[in-house]
Amino acid sequence: MTRRVTIKDLARELGISHSTVARALTGNPHVLPETKARVLEAAAKLGYVVNSGARILRAGTSTIVGFVIPDVQNEVMAVSAKSIGECCVANGHQMVLSNSDEDPDLELASIRALAEIRAAGAVVMLTSSPRRETLNLLKEFPVVQILRRNAALNADWVGIDDGESMALAARHLIELGHTRIGYVGGVIELNTGSDRLAGYRRVLEEHGLPYDETIVSTGSVRAGFARGTVEPLLRADPRPTAVIGAGSRITLGVLEGLEALGLRIPDDLSVVGYTDPSWLRGWGPGITTVSVPIREVGAAAGALVMKRVHEDWSPNDASIVPVSSTFAPSLVVRGSTSSRQ
């Protein structure tokens, strides 16, 4: 195994003290610019890598910002990760991504790891039932919640007006003459799931339409769950003439379920999805969807966690008041919705 290059190796190479090398590497203003340049050149030449453990001990924190999410395959989270990562890099930090897979124990392990390396901060999208230790650990460094909001965590939040998202979808279908509108949604124990369902119900009530549980299915954001709900939902009498998929993976599952049954969109059923990944535009006639500015949401979350990191932050600091930023959705109309015949 190749021996790791040390500060003493650099000092020996340059013929200067190792304390001078250490100060040069940390940007100490008392080191002459020409000396600093020589040290950095030698470090690059010899392949010196900073001992992050020692640096953390000196500084009390690392340059790592965690991004803990429940589903790394979700397009929304991938786009968010890119925006947050870019913001971290621009501020001299690095983002590390952890996938909880909707498992509270995996989530706890990720948060514990961030605490152990003394992370500078974190952006989190928590599971529906995080462990108590998870919430306690998240109080030890700056945290921004993104999309999902857990009331037990008194932290900043950046998200979407989820109620209005589903209100836009339901209102569009009602204006086309649909009065039996199915709904497939996520976990109602999460604010995202409950707020979207509430937006759907609100618009039905505004138009004097009944809320019928036989054409509503909630419980998971997974495509497989949504796919499995399509056939039972269509057995309702009278059958729905339209359906809303209240999540990106849910929309995929609904479309796959309809395709498996040989149903045509929008001839047999109108469909409105959620978020606007590129594949929605190429699916059949193109899928009408609720678009959300997820890049902007991610950028706002990244900027907010960087703001907190650069503040003189400390746990239980009453002077820091959590802020909430809500972004508005919009409707993109394509060929998957048509007037009720």
What's the full length of the chain, in residues?
A: 341
The more confidently predicted of residues 57 and 151 is: 151
pLDDT at 27: 67
Region 51-74: mean pLDDT is 71
Highest mean pLDDT, choosing among 14-18, 157-161, 248-252: 157-161
Region 3-22: mean pLDDT is 80
Region 132-138: mean pLDDT is 94
pLDDT at 57: 40
Domains in the chain, CATH or no CATH each: 7-50 (1.10.260.40), 62-160+295-327 (3.40.50.2300), 162-292 (3.40.50.2300)
Q: What percent of the chain has pLDDT over 70?
A: 93
d(CA 40, CA 45): 9
Region 265-284: mean pLDDT is 92
Check: CB of residue 225 under 8 Å from CB of residue 256: no
Confidence of residue 61 (pLDDT cuts 50, 70, 90): low
Tell me the pTM: 0.81
pLDDT at 6: 79
Confidence of residue 10 (pLDDT cuts 50, 70, 90): confident
- Could you tell me the two tokens for 182? 């199915």
d(CA 70, CA 53): 28
- Could you tell me the two tokens for 11? 């000092």
- Decide if pLDDT at 56 tops 80: no
Report how far apart the first and last C-alpha atoms of the chain are (Å, whole number).
73
Average pLDDT, the chain: 90
DSSP-derived secondary structure for 306-335: HHHHHS---TT-TT----EEEE--EEE--T
Distance of CA 261 to the CA centre of its chain: 32
Check: CB of residue 287 under 8 Å from CB of residue 255: yes
Angle, CA 52 vertex, CA 47 and CA 57 arms, to 5°: 145
